[in-house]
């Protein structure tokens, strides 16, 4: 299958080479920054473009842009290519963004994973969620998704948005907690690496236990004395204190 990659960011940098390895032909790579397009194009043996109108003919236009850019550029991506299959990879953008852009064949391929350039993923462990405007398109997207991962599940736009929210809590917010932890440790000259065994064990536990049952710490115990001592230590940083208080009371409403 000939696939045009619309976008050259973190998702495209991981997904493009995987599709190339699976035997697909990458017809071209677009990014508004030509240097980024060229960097990815060199890895998938394809030409690079910084203008959407220059993208060559393809069977599939796989779009990996920010939500705002996708909504803005969808009509431009579709124009003159109406017979192709249009797929986006966003967690929170409805499938019908393509319908509104006058596409007739379209859908979604959402890989629920955090992506980083230069980091090779174990795609066998990545769940992929798909949606199609008809059974025919859904099957085409399913076959494409199976070339990425064996774990492929159909999911509606509404379900995918809820999944995306859950992923923000489990991944993005958790990483922000790491950043706060790192800052607090730095104030005492302690490297964040001391937290890594704890981080690994916390992640390991929820592979076998419900997160509710795996919860530990002063909040779940209702230990007001420790919670208040921690809040006192954070009094010079009201933002962190507010986060600590909010999460602690969400864990245990009796702490209000």
pLDDT for 255 equals 82
Class of domain 161-255: mainly alpha
Which tens digits make up the pLDDT trace of 94-133?
Answer: 999 999 999 999 999 999 999 888 778 899 999 999 999 9
Location of each CATH 1.10.1040.20 domain in the chain? 161-255
What backbone phi and psi angles, to 5 degrees, belong to 22?
-80, -5
- In the chain, DSSP finds a helix count (H) and a strand count (E) of 11, 8
Look up the CATH architecture of domain 2-155: 3-Layer(aba) Sandwich (3.40)
In whole angstroms, what is the distance from residue 142 CA to residue 132 CA? 9
CB-count exposure of residue 212 (10 Å: 0-12, 13-18, 19+):
exposed
pLDDT for 128 equals 97
Location of each CATH 3.40.50.720 domain in the chain? 2-155
In whole angstroms, what is the distance from residue 47 CA to residue 189 CA? 48
Residues 6+ apart with CB under 8 A from 150: 124
Which portions of the chain are predicted below pLDDT 50?
none
Contact in structure between 3 and 15 (CB atoms under 8 Å):
no
Q: What is the pTM of this model?
A: 0.89
């Amino acid at each position: 299958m000939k696939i045009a990659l619309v976008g050259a960011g973190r998702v495209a940098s991981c997904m493009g080479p995987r599709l190339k390895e699976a035997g697909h032909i990458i017809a071209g790579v677009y990014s508004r920054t030509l240097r980024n397009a060229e960097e990815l194009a060199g890895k998938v043996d394809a030409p690079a473009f910084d203008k959407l109108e220059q993208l060559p003919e393809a069977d599939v236009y796989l779009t990996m842009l920010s939500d705002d850019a996708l909504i803005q550029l969808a009509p431009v991506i579709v124009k003159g290519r109406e017979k192709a299959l249009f797929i986006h990879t966003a967690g929170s953008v409805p499938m019908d963004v393509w319908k509104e852009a006058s596409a007739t064949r379209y859908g979604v391929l959402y890989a629920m994973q955090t992506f980083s350039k230069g980091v090779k993923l174990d795609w066998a462990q990545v769940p992929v969620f798909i949606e199609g405007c008809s059974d025919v398109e859904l099957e085409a997207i399913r076959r494409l998704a199976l070339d990425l991962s064996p774990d492929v599940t159909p999911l509606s736009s509404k379900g995918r948005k809820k999944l995306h929210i859950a992923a923000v809590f489990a991944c993005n917010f958790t990483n922000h907690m790491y950043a706060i932890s790192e800052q607090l440790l730095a104030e005492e000259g302690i490297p964040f690496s001391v937290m890594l065994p704890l981080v690994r064990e916390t992640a390991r536990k929820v592979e076998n236990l419900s997160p509710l049952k795996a919860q530990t710490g002063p909040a779940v115990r209702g230990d007001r004395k420790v919670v208040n001592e921690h809040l006192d230590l954070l009094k010079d940083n009201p933002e962190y204190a507010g986060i600590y208080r909010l999460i602690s009371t969400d864990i245990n409403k009796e702490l209000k």
